[in-house]
Amino acid sequence: MTLTAPPASDDSATAPTLPRAVTLRDVARAAGMSASTASRALNSTGYVSADARARLLAAAARLGYVANASARTLKQRTSRTIGVVVSAIGNPFYADLAAGIEETLRAAEYQMVLISDNSDSAQEIDGARTFLAMRAAGVIMTPVGSDAAALLMRHGIAVVELDRQLAKVPCDAVVIDNHRGARAATAHLLELGHRRVGLLAAKTNWTSDAGRLQGYRAAHRAAGVPIEPRLVTRIAPEAPDTVERVERLLDERPTAIFAANNVLTEQVWRAIRRRGARLPRDVSLVGFDDVPWMEMVEPGITTVGQPTVELGRRAARLLLLRADDSERPPTVVCLQPSLVLRGSTSPPG
């Protein structure tokens, strides 16, 4: 701040809002060095004398130098940014995934750019384009369609699919064992003696929902209990007639319901409450995803818990590994869910 030439100084004291950002050249000049040397010093790469480095570092600090990420990315043809696209940031499940990703990325000095696609494949492709344009070092996504991942990978950007797998090309992925989770949930109900177990699942082409549906079926098969088709309801995310569809399922008088994600679990829970029905006396309920409210309501909701934050961490770690070695064979990490028993399940009344 206190420079030699007070009046004609070319530094920021001239105007309150400075006209041009300070560049590497500026700090080089201030230290009487060239830009190349300054670059080496500030990035601790290549040879720089201790003296020069010290002067350069001091100058950078004094001038408040912040490297221009665009210039660097342009030159290096890749950035330290990782794109993340989730279905709905407002859903605590996705928020937790993002939290796990962010934590891991931050530790590795990468930036997370978060985009929410509202489960809409057009928005998802848009997001992919954005990351392509940014030359993101990689992208983690909870896929809605398979085109976005294809686009990215075709352009050489590493992709990790999270929560479900949709890519048609082999690709890293981190998922939960949906089949086993759903099977455990359903088996629990069957073991309690339920014979009319309703299923409420999302109507998607996602592997997660397919697995949950299969798990429900497998448990029935193993128990020798036939499935009543009218008790299986599949509802598209954000469908406008969600409430009616849920009501209709309840009208079928199942003695228990397995709701295959946290949103649907909340929907049935509300429908049950609206009817004044009692949990678990009138109907038992098992959810999927252990979000906070499930433990706070009375009775608590028995549910298939997922290590959500850990799923996010793993996805980030996988991407980091691939950044080191783009030739690694694609690996898919499958984490185990666990059935959390609470008060919403009991033998049929």
Partner DNA sequence: CTGTTAGCGCTTTCAG
Partner DNA sequence: CTGAAAGCGCTAACAG
Contact residues for DNA, defined by CB under 7 A: 20-21, 23-25, 32-37, 39-40, 42-43, 45-53, 65, 67-68, 71-72, 74-77
Q: Say whether residue 68 binds a copy of itself (CB under 8 A).
A: yes
Burial of 224 (0-12, 13-18, 19+ CB in 10 A): exposed
Q: Which is nearer to a copy of itself, 77 or 224 (CB)?
A: 77
Q: Which is nearer to DNA, 63 or 223 (CB)?
A: 63
Q: Say whether residue 163 binds a copy of itself (CB under 8 A).
A: no
* Cβ-Cβ contacts under 8 Å for 83 (sequence gap 6 or more): 113, 115, 127, 130, 131, 134, 136, 138, 139, 140, 141
User: Which of a copy of itself, DNA, none binds 25 (CB below 5-8 Å, type-dependent)?
Assistant: DNA
- Taking alpha carbons only, the member of 233, 238, 284, 239 closest to residue 260 is 233
Residue 28 · residue 34 · CB < 8 Å: yes
The piece of 3-11, 44-52, 132-140, 224-232 that touches a copy of itself (CB under 8 A) is 132-140
Q: How far is the CB of 219 from DNA (least distance, A)?
A: 53
Q: How far is the CB of 70 from a copy of itself (least distance, A)?
A: 4
Q: Which is nearer to a copy of itself, 23 or 346 (CB)?
A: 23
H helix and E strand count, the chain = 13, 12
Q: Which is nearer to DNA, 40 or 313 (CB)?
A: 40
d(CA 245, CA 232): 11
The four Cα atoms 88, 89, 93, 99 give a dihedral, to 10 degrees, of: 150
Query: Which of 35, 57, 63, 99 is in the footprint of a copy of itself by CB under 8 A?
Result: 99
Tell which phi-psi region holds residue 188, choosing left (phi > 0), alpha (psi between -120 and 50) or beta: alpha
Q: How far is the CB of 190 from a copy of itself (least distance, A)?
A: 28
Q: How far is the CB of 160 from DNA (least distance, A)?
A: 25
User: Which of a copy of itself, DNA, none binds 39 (CB below 5-8 Å, type-dependent)?
Assistant: DNA
User: Which of DNA, a copy of itself, none binds 230 (CB below 5-8 Å, type-dependent)?
Assistant: none
**∠ Cα 223 224 230 (to 5°):** 100
Q: Say whether residue 218 binds a copy of itself (CB under 8 A).
A: no
Q: Say whether residue 21 binds a copy of itself (CB under 8 A).
A: yes
Q: Which is nearer to a copy of itself, 114 or 227 (CB)?
A: 114
How many residues does the structure list for the chain?
A: 349
Query: Which of 5, 8, 50, 133 is in the footprint of a copy of itself by CB under 8 A?
Result: 133
User: Which of a copy of itself, DNA, none binds 34 (CB below 5-8 Å, type-dependent)?
Assistant: DNA
The sheet carrying 332-335 orders its strands as 111-116, 81-86, 138-141, 158-162, 172-176, 332-335
Instruction: Tell me the angle at which helices 35-43 and 50-63 cross, rounded to the nearest 10 degrees.
Output: 90
Q: Say whether residue 242 binds a copy of itself (CB under 8 A).
A: no
Tell which phi-psi region holds residue 10, choosing left (phi > 0), alpha (psi between -120 and 50) or beta: alpha
User: Which of DNA, a copy of itself, none binds 292 (CB below 5-8 Å, type-dependent)?
Assistant: a copy of itself
d(CA 185, CA 288): 9
- Taking alpha carbons only, the member of 288, 296, 295, 301 closest to residue 346 is 301
Write out the residues near a copy of itself by the rule CB under 8 A: 12, 17-18, 21, 64, 66-71, 73-74, 77, 79, 89-90, 92, 95-96, 98-99, 102, 111-116, 129-130, 132-135, 151, 154-156, 266, 269, 292-293, 296-298
